[in-house]
């Protein structure tokens, strides 16, 4: 049998490619795109092949750290519980992990924009995709991926006290949310757009030149942006050439 630790390590990786691949397979949905195809080709400086390789490199780091964490903190140390908690406890652990991950990523992400060296040499790699697309969600410098996603995920796992089995579902959900936020589409009826203010349009604003100092929150809520004055509201408008555009709006 495959252990929960192994599933918690590899399932989110498989979910990433399955969910982002779904966007590729079903088509481009031109009338729901936040940017035109021409705009994507003109503005993005990284080729899609390079993006795939970059994401695989980050996921390799992610797998290595996850396996190390589970090896060090195995059940014999009593630091990780393998007992199935109640649904109420799982819900509480999800909420804690979401808040911890959001907090970690907001401040690290924002600092990478404030510090010119880190932005130019580390974080800019992600922003080379001015027009985001689904499987480019984790296109980061390996150091950023390690610090922002892998370490942030480990901290949220430990602070929440979730079991490896719960972690399978939490990190799969976080992966789906991250991919969806970068899909570059505003699909009607998408439940993630209904449930979360932090969505594909919200994050698209951050990827534009005018939004680089705003909308740092990821991947779940917009709380820290609103508290610390980095929240940029937007309105969805129809483009003349078809599709949609997230435009800054007065709060």
Q: Tell me the per-residue pLDDT of 127-156, one tens digit each, with 9 for 90 and over.
A: 999 999 999 999 999 999 999 999 999 999
Structure tokens at 30: 């031109």
Whether 81 has a pLDDT exceeding 90, the answer reads no
- Does this model's pTM top 0.85? My answer is yes
235, containing H or E segment: strand 234-238
Among 146, 147, 2, residue whose Cα is nearest residue 60: 146
- Per the prediction, the chain carries an average pLDDT of 91
pLDDT at 48: 94
What's residue 251's pLDDT?
53
User: Three-state SS for 73?
Assistant: coil
Please tell me the distance from the alpha carbon of residue 18 to that of residue 12, in angstroms, as a whole number: 10
| pLDDT at position 235 over 90 | yes
> Phi, psi (5° rounding) for residue 159?
-65, -40
Q: Using CA atoms, how far apart are residues 28 and 24, in angstroms rounded to an integer? A: 7
Rounded Cα–Cα distance for residues 184 and 199 (Å): 10
User: Which tens digits make up the pLDDT trace of 158-217?
Assistant: 999 999 899 999 999 999 999 999 999 999 899 999 899 999 999 999 999 888 899 999
Q: b/e map of 140-150 (b: 16 or more CB within 10 Å)?
A: bbbebbbbbbb
pLDDT tops 70 at residue 7: yes
Please compute the mean of the pLDDT values over residues 78-102 and round it to a whole number: 86
Report the pLDDT averaged over residues 242-251. 83
């Amino acid at each position: 049998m495959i252990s929960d630790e192994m599933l918690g390590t590899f399932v989110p990786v498989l979910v990433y490619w399955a969910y982002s691949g779904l966007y590729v397979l079903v088509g481009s949905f031109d009338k729901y795109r936040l940017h035109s195809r021409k705009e994507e080709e003109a503005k993005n400086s990284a080729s899609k092949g390079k993006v795939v390789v970059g994401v695989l490199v980050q996921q390799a780091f992610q797998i290595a750290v996850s396996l190390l964490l589970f090896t060090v903190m195995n059940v014999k140390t009593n630091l990780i519980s393998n007992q199935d908690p109640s649904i109420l406890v799982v819900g509480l652990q999800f909420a804690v992990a979401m808040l911890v991950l959001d907090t970690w990523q907001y401040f690290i992400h924002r600092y990478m924009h404030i510090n010119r060296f880190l932005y130019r040499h580390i974080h800019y790699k992600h922003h080379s995709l001015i027009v985001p697309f689904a499987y480019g969600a984790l296109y980061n410098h390996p150091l950023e991926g390690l610090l922002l996603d892998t370490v942030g995920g480990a901290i949220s796992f430990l602070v929440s006290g979730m079991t490896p089995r719960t972690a399978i579902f939490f990190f799969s959900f976080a992966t789906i949310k991250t991919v969806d936020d970068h899909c570059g589409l505003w699909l009607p009826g998408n439940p993630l757009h209904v449930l979360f203010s932090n969505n594909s349009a919200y994050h698209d604003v951050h990827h534009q030149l005018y939004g680089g100092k705003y909308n740092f929150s990821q991947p779940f809520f917009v709380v820290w942006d609103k508290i610390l004055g980095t929240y940029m509201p937007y309105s969805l408008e129809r483009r003349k050439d078809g599709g949609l555009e997230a435009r800054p709006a007065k709060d």
